[in-house]
Amino acid sequence: MANKRIIDLNDASALRGDEAFIVDQVTPSCISGLDTVQTNLADIQTFVLTDAPFISATGNMEVDGDAIIDGNLNVGEYIRAEGLSVPENINADGQILSAGQDLHDVFFTGLSGLGTLQQITDNGATTTNNLTAESLISANGFDVLTDDNSTIGYLSGGVPLTDIFTTAAAAAGDLDIVTTNGNTTTNSLSIGDLSAGKIVGNAFTNTAPQSGSFIGGGNDNAALGNRSSIVGGEFNEICAQVEDSTIAGGMNNIIRDNSHCSIIGGGEFNSICGSENVIGGGRSNRILNNSHCGVIGGGRDNHACENFATIGGGYCNTACECSSTVGGGRLNTAADRYTAVGGGRGNIALNRYATVAGGLQNVVESFCGTIAGGEANRICSAGNDSFIGGGGCNTATSFQSFIGGGGCNTASGGNSVVAGGVGNTASGDSSFVGGGSGNAASGFTSFVGGGYFVSSPGDYSFVGGGSGNSARCGRSAIAGGSNNMTYGCRSFIGSGYYNYATGVDSVVAGGAFNCATGDYSFIGGGGLAYSYGGHKNIASGNFSSIVGGLSSTASGVRSAILGGCSNRASHADSFIIGSNLSSNAACTTFVNNLSAQCNIYAGCALTQTITAGNMELTICGGLIYNATDIADILGA
């Protein structure tokens, strides 16, 4: 189909899409449109090329009115028009004029070949045309007048910004209208002050539906309660019926319904059921039973089950009752109100105010009982206010009893004490065992200082030490030695071995195999001669005394044997000085030999004859004479 020339405009037929409009005043036969010359199109300015694919001119193009072209516009020289709308490309070898100024001079400079926005706007900073930006527009002020040039009419998405940021009621903007059209952006935001009903970081996976909630970041976190906060981590949850609670981080932590004002700092698989509780971190720690004000600092598998319960850390510890505390360790239990376990392993505080500071498998069953440490120590339920300092397998079974340490000791008397040692027992009330092994203080207020298998079964009895000693009667005492026994009230044995004080207030100071059986009797020492065949001193008379020697017996009342061996003072007030002597009269002193360097007096003005051994003596005027001397005296 032939192209249309200007001489063809009188034709009634319209141009078609496959035809070109040719402006040609010189060579009417030209149909290529490539060799046209300058012409004036004022007569055809009302003709709109709605279907022609392009206009191609080798000369200048001037249009008095508007030129609207759907396709490309190719001009060899310059283009001048009141208005120019071209959706495709504009190609011109010459000038393109806008408001009398060449656009080349507007957009390009001779200095750099590329103009700056400052150079462009120096030529004119105002336009009535629309501006479209692919990216950010930043300005300190941005005014666009409306059609009546009276009000500012910012446009965003075809909507005046006055409608978006200004309300008729308050004349102040808010983001509600803006975010109604879309509340998600992939761009960064820089904000001076931020006030929001809720803030959700990484809203693609995190959820915070309630007012006042906050999620800082992480993945798959859910802050479902009012004013709840999750700072970060993943798979953490604050349930819907929760207010003012916080999870700082970690993984798979949960604050359950009705657990208001609670905090989980971090860790994983931690859980709170109850208000005003805190779990610092760790793994699989639980605050249970809707308890309040509980604390678990960290550790693993710890459980706080009642109000004000506290666990510092450790593994598998339990604080079961109100105000109970476990500091740390492993498998420890604070099972009653106000109980405390400091640490260690397998320790249990079962009664109110009970305390186990540490150690292994210690148990306090009593009220206010305390075990400082050690292993397998126990304060039984009747041992209120009792104390075990340490050691192993010690047991306090009565009130206010004390075991300092050692092993397998028992304080079963009220207010009893075992300071240490092994296998000692203080079973009497207020009894005391200082140490040693196998010792027993069973009498009331009895005392065993130490030793080996020593006992004080008598009330107020005392054994200082030694081996196998036993103060069996009240107020009796044994200072030491071996296998000594007191059966008499207030009797005393100082030392030695196999001595017996069976009389009331009897004394055996020492020696071996001595026996003070008379009341108030005394044996100073001595005793065994050769073997265990019964050779010993015996003071069986009341108030009798044997100062020393061996195998002697003072059976008379107030009789005495100074020493020697095999003496028998069987009469009242009889005295023996020597060996192998036996009394035959009361109030008589028996000796083997008597040597006097001076006078011997025998009563005042007494005159009689006495026999001493094979000699016959005469007492005259209180003096003792032999036979020779008496004849001289009488002759005089």
DSSP line for 11-43: SSSPP-TT--EE--SS-TT--SSSS---EE-GG
One domain, residues 470 and 509: no
Residue 206 CA neighbour count, 13 Å, CB half? 25
Q: Residue 77 is part of which domain span? A: 4-93
pLDDT of the residue at 210: 85
**Residue range 45-55: mean pLDDT, rounded:** 42
pLDDT of the residue at 184: 65
Res 391 pLDDT > 60: yes
Give the model's confidence band at 79: pLDDT under 50 very low, under 70 low, under 90 confident, else very high.
low
pLDDT top residue among 204 and 16: 204
pLDDT top residue among 14 and 264: 264
Percent of the chain with pLDDT over 90: 58
Residue 16 lies in a domain: yes
Res 599 pLDDT > 90: no
Min mean pLDDT across 16-20, 258-262, 587-591 is at 16-20
Kindly list the distances between the CA atom of residue 129 and the CA atoms of 102, 144, 431, 526, in Å, as whole numbers in the listed order. Answer: 18, 11, 110, 137
One domain, residues 616 and 585: no
Res 19 pLDDT > 60: no
pLDDT of the residue at 15: 45
Give the model's confidence band at 1: pLDDT under 50 very low, under 70 low, under 90 confident, else very high.
very low
Residue 81 lies in a domain: yes
CATH of the domain at 581: 2.150.10.10
Q: Which two tokens stand for residue 84?
A: 């120019």
Contact status, residue 245 vs residue 262, Cβ threshold 8 Å: yes
Residue 441 lies in a domain: yes
**Residue range 428-432: mean pLDDT, rounded:** 97
Among 449, 483, 517, the domain-final residue is 483
**Residue range 152-160: mean pLDDT, rounded:** 52
pLDDT of the residue at 133: 62
Res 46 pLDDT > 60: no
pLDDT of the residue at 204: 86
Amino acid at residue number 427:
S
pLDDT tens-place string over residues 531-540: 444 458 999 9
From the list 446, 448, 398, 400, the residue with the least C-alpha distance to 420 is 448
Q: Whole-angstrom Cα distance, residue 365 to residue 378?
A: 8
Give the model's confidence band at 390: pLDDT under 50 very low, under 70 low, under 90 confident, else very high.
very high
Q: Whole-angstrom Cα distance, residue 252 to residue 237?
A: 7
Among 153, 175, 197, the domain-final residue is 175
Residue 252 lies in a domain: no
Give the model's confidence band at 31: pLDDT under 50 very low, under 70 low, under 90 confident, else very high.
very low
One domain, residues 378 and 477: yes
Residue 187 lies in a domain: no
pLDDT of the residue at 197: 65
Contact status, residue 441 vs residue 427, Cβ threshold 8 Å: yes
pLDDT of the residue at 289: 94
Res 97 pLDDT > 50: yes
Min mean pLDDT across 27-36, 369-378, 495-504, 571-580 is at 27-36
Res 171 pLDDT > 60: no
Which alpha helices (H) appear in 480-583, and where do they start and end?
A: none
One domain, residues 387 and 455: yes
One domain, residues 464 and 369: yes
**Residue range 461-482: mean pLDDT, rounded:** 96
Q: Number of folded domains in the chain?
A: 5
Res 612 pLDDT > 70: no
Res 256 pLDDT > 90: yes
Residue 350 lies in a domain: no
One domain, residues 462 and 517: no
Min mean pLDDT across 86-90, 183-187, 377-381 is at 86-90
**Residue range 455-469: mean pLDDT, rounded:** 96
One domain, residues 387 and 409: yes
**Residue range 371-384: mean pLDDT, rounded:** 97
Give the model's confidence band at 298: pLDDT under 50 very low, under 70 low, under 90 confident, else very high.
very high
One domain, residues 513 and 587: yes
One domain, residues 384 and 439: yes
Cα 343 → chain centroid: 9
3-state secondary structure of 56: strand
Res 40 pLDDT > 50: no
Res 37 pLDDT > 90: no
Q: Whole-angstrom Cα distance, residue 58 to residue 591?
A: 174
pLDDT tens-place string over residues 316-334: 999 999 999 999 999 999 9
Of 189-203, 494-508, 583-597, the range with the highest mean pLDDT is: 494-508
Contact status, residue 505 vs residue 536, Cβ threshold 8 Å: no
Q: Which two tokens stand for residue 503?
A: 């009389």
Round the average pLDDT of the chain to a whole number and report it.
80
Among 93, 109, 132, the domain-final residue is 93
pTM of the model: 0.66
Q: How many residues does the chain have?
A: 636
One domain, residues 602 and 569: no
β-pair partners for 618: 609, 625
pLDDT of the residue at 594: 78
One domain, residues 572 and 529: yes
Min mean pLDDT across 25-39, 44-58, 332-346 is at 25-39
Residue 229 lies in a domain: no
From the list 602, 580, 603, 606, the residue with the least C-alpha distance to 591 is 580
pLDDT top residue among 200 and 452: 452
Percent of the chain with pLDDT over 70: 61
One domain, residues 468 and 523: no
DSSP state of 346: S
Q: Whole-angstrom Cα distance, residue 65 to residue 79?
A: 13
Give the model's confidence band at 75: pLDDT under 50 very low, under 70 low, under 90 confident, else very high.
low
Residue 163 lies in a domain: yes
- The burial class, CB within 10 Å (0-12 / 13-18 / 19+), for 395 is buried
